[in-house]
Amino acid sequence: MKINIIGAGLAGVEAAWYLANNGVQVKLYEQKPVKYSPAHSSEGFAELVCSNSFRSNELSNAVGVLKAEMALFGSIVIEAARATEVPAGGALAVDRDLFSDYITKKIKAHENIEMIYGEVTAINPDELTIIASGPLTSDSLAKEIARVLGQDYFYFFDAAAPIISKESIDMNKVYLKSRYDKGEAAYLNCPMTRDEFFNFYDELIKAECAEQKEFEQNVFEGCMPIEVMAKRGMKTMLFGPLKPVGLETPDGTKPYAVVQLRQDNASASLYNLVGFQTHLKWPEQKRVFSLIPGLENVEIVRYGVMHRNSYINAPTLLTCANEYKENPNIMFAGQITGVEGYAESASSGILTAVQALRKLHGQEVIKFPHETAMGALNHYITHASAKNFQPMNVTFGIMKDLDYKAPKKEKKQIYANRALETMEEFINESLK
């Protein structure tokens, strides 16, 4: 049994890992280090370009449920994340370099995975292939996918936040705390007075952005650049990444606004500015972010950047198995399908691999239960309105609704319990 997988990002490595562990000979194609996208810089697999956070660990959050479901399938991404975790309160954040190294070594060492380096420019329609090339698919491969599908990609623009050195932070002005003291105190908090916030806001909305083409105005709402957010009004920031609620200073003072810094590597020498995705010119990032208390002498080791995220019109093109409807040999996984987020992309790789394995064994593909996080996300991308299709994070709102009403907090727990019980039953009864 053989399969081709294009792309060694989060979805690609998950698909390769699952299939290889089930006896399939995998050819895993990766263009790095022969060629890099505008946002990638490391040779390693599963490189995290934007944040280093996989978001909430809590089962009261749908992404926490999704990660728990992934673990039931032996997810290499969740395994690597747990092994390289850094403090982040109630979230799962990782040292991005150690995370990538962990996965790269595991994938390269697997006897059933053959690595093939270089850009893929042609897809064989007669060979079972999973396209997991991600939102930064190279131009040549994008053209080939468009040719195979007979239509162009959709796209939005995404942005990454700056990473700064800890030694450049004035530790006398910041304090360690997680919001509402939830979980371990894991964030460095930069408190702002009203005057400091207004000054920062005024300079931010006046700051010069890197040159953009007209079509680059299509920004994903879930990863909006901080300067775009600011131009929608200062309250947008105060209810967003600069929200001060639950972040009182050690002496009990309530700041007017707070900028949070999250640990970015295991040695705690690097931090990223939470929610500060940006497309400002690099000198402007240095100038404006130096106005944040505690960051007056900030050293930015990786500046924020913006890049194109491409995805296909999944509702018109894909079956529930992430197969191309016109040729089931061609399958898709990851963010290119229209899921949004690290965990979502990786889980898509698992789901597609499960379906590919069934096909290789001559079995029919099978729908993942709508009650589960993985199944709900897959149902969304294959059943959403094709006309207004937008990338989607996992939420309880896309899961199959309950047959009865319950208080909000209790309802989340019911959704979580139902999802995990249903997934365990699905694996034991339908996938064995």
Which among 34-48, 214-228, 403-417 has the top mean pLDDT?
Answer: 403-417
- Tell me what percent of the residues of the chain surpass a pLDDT of 70: 95
Contact 351, 195 (CB under 8 A): no
Q: Among 38, 102, 115, which residue's Cα sits nearest to residue 75?
A: 102
Alpha carbons within 13 A on the beta-carbon side of 125: 9
Across the range 240-263, mean pLDDT stands at 95
Q: How far apart are CA 144 and CA 127, in angstroms?
A: 15
Query: Which one has a higher pLDDT value, 27 or 209?
Result: 27
Which among 152-166, 205-219, 265-279 has the top mean pLDDT?
Answer: 265-279
pLDDT over 60 (residue 276): yes
Identify the band that residue 267 occupies on the pLDDT scale cut at 50, 70 and 90.
confident
The predicted pLDDT at position 218 comes to 52
pLDDT over 70 (residue 295): yes
User: What is the β-pairing status of strands 187-192 and 257-263?
Assistant: antiparallel
- What is the per-residue pLDDT across 3-34, written as a single tens digit (0 to 9) for each? 999 999 999 999 999 999 999 999 999 998 88
Element (H, E) at 102: helix 96-109
* Exposure letters 212-243 (e unless 16+ CB within 10 A, then b): eeeebeebbeebbbbbbbbeeebebbbeebbe
Place of tokens 């468009």: 146
- What is the per-residue pLDDT across 46-90, written as a single tens digit (0 to 9) for each? 999 878 999 999 999 999 999 999 999 999 999 999 999 999 988
Identify the band that residue 41 occupies on the pLDDT scale cut at 50, 70 and 90.
low
Which among 183-187, 222-226, 278-282 has the top mean pLDDT?
Answer: 278-282
Across the range 336-361, mean pLDDT stands at 96
3 state DSSP class of 412? helix
The predicted pLDDT at position 216 comes to 45
The predicted pLDDT at position 368 comes to 98
Across the range 142-155, mean pLDDT stands at 83
- Tell me what percent of the residues of the chain surpass a pLDDT of 90: 72
The predicted pLDDT at position 197 comes to 97
Q: How far apart are CA 308 and CA 133, in angstroms?
A: 13
pLDDT over 80 (residue 35): no
Q: Average model confidence (pLDDT) for the chain? A: 91
pLDDT over 60 (residue 214): no
The predicted pLDDT at position 49 comes to 83
Query: Which one has a higher pLDDT value, 224 or 361?
Result: 361
Q: Among 135, 148, 117, which residue's Cα sits nearest to residue 10?
A: 135
Which among 25-29, 84-88, 221-225, 390-394 has the top mean pLDDT?
Answer: 25-29
Identify the band that residue 243 occupies on the pLDDT scale cut at 50, 70 and 90.
very high
pLDDT over 90 (residue 215): no
Contact 161, 303 (CB under 8 A): no
Contact 88, 188 (CB under 8 A): no
**Least confident range of 13-17, 47-51, 198-202, 336-340:** 47-51
Across the range 262-277, mean pLDDT stands at 90
pLDDT over 80 (residue 249): yes
Could you give the C-alpha distances from 231 to 205, 206, 228, 235, in angstroms and in order? 6, 9, 5, 10
Across the range 400-410, mean pLDDT stands at 83
